[in-house]
Amino acid sequence: MNCLDLTLYPSLTLSLVEKHVKKFGVNKGIHVSRDVYISGKWYNPWSYINDVDRKMLDKVHLLLEKYSCISISISPADGDLLFVTAFLTQNTDYHKNVLRWTHTIFKHTEDVRIIAEISPRVGKSYQLQKLPRAIHDFLHLGKPRDRETLLKVRGVGPKVADLYLLHTGNVTAAPVDRHFIKFATSLNISGKPPNATYCMKYVCGKCPLADVCLRHLAYRYLGRLAGWVQTLSYLAGRGFI
């Protein structure tokens, strides 16, 4: 098991890396194994076992015994670039399309204002066409790191917001996708994806849908392991574990 590669594979930080070297953002040229955040060395999933609800503790304990060397790759200092990556992930293949787009863009510039100007010329996909106004809102709102404000950015829904939060360091944020829905069921957590309308109106946890929202249930039952379990779910869905 190549734990470093498995840590990187689901992460937005992969858009900042080429051949295990940090190519874009802060600390360019460093091997990812030496970067405490991108390598995942900053996060030890065993540290949060006490966050787990008792009814699923045995199953999570088994995951920890088998996969605790897999971590969460983040890069808090690269928030601008990770916002671009997170936004582009909508309804497309991350490894086939998003990484190609971001590497093309970041090789040209790392200034998000210039990225807003050139992204429509990178391709015709709607994600690239809508990125400029999303960047405009992101900057206007002060580059938010909270879910409520991120959801005010045009084109940003719950999944994109949680992707961004997770990979900038909020390990309680679990982006809900089809992989996570299936994986969570195996842990006896069943619910529905977040409802964007309700997410924009209510603080997570105080929403009328909290008891059926898988994003909130993951936080309630897994705490600071929610993002880690989501990482495993993506790897499982891709057949890596």
10 pLDDT higher than 90: yes
**Residue 127 to residue 102: CA distance in whole angstroms:** 12
Residue range 93-111: mean pLDDT, rounded: 98
pLDDT level of residue 205 (50, 70, 90 thresholds): confident
Q: What angle do CA 215, 188, 226 make, to 5 degrees?
A: 35
Residue range 161-177: mean pLDDT, rounded: 97
> What's the confidence (pLDDT) of residue 191?
94
> Which percentage of the chain shows pLDDT scores above 70?
100
* pLDDT tens-digit readout, 22-67: 999 999 999 999 999 999 999 999 999 999 999 999 999 999 999 9
135 pLDDT higher than 90: yes
73 pLDDT higher than 90: yes
> What's the confidence (pLDDT) of residue 214?
97
pLDDT level of residue 219 (50, 70, 90 thresholds): very high
Domains of the chain: 78-167 (1.10.340.30)
Q: Beta-carbon neighbour count of residue 54 at 10 Å?
A: 7
Q: Which residue has the tokens 């405490």?
A: 36
CB of 152 within 8 A of CB of 141? yes
Phi, psi of 17 (to 5 degrees): -125, 145
Residue range 113-120: mean pLDDT, rounded: 98
Give Cβ neighbours of residue 62 (< 8 Å, ≥ 6 apart): none
111 pLDDT higher than 90: yes
Residue range 188-202: mean pLDDT, rounded: 95
Beta-bridge mates of residue 127? none
Residue range 164-169: mean pLDDT, rounded: 98
**The model scores a pTM over 0.85:** yes
pLDDT level of residue 1 (50, 70, 90 thresholds): confident
**Residue 141 to residue 150: CA distance in whole angstroms:** 8
- Dihedral of the CA atoms 149, 101, 26, 33 (nearest 10)? 110
If you average pLDDT over every residue of the chain, what do you get?
97
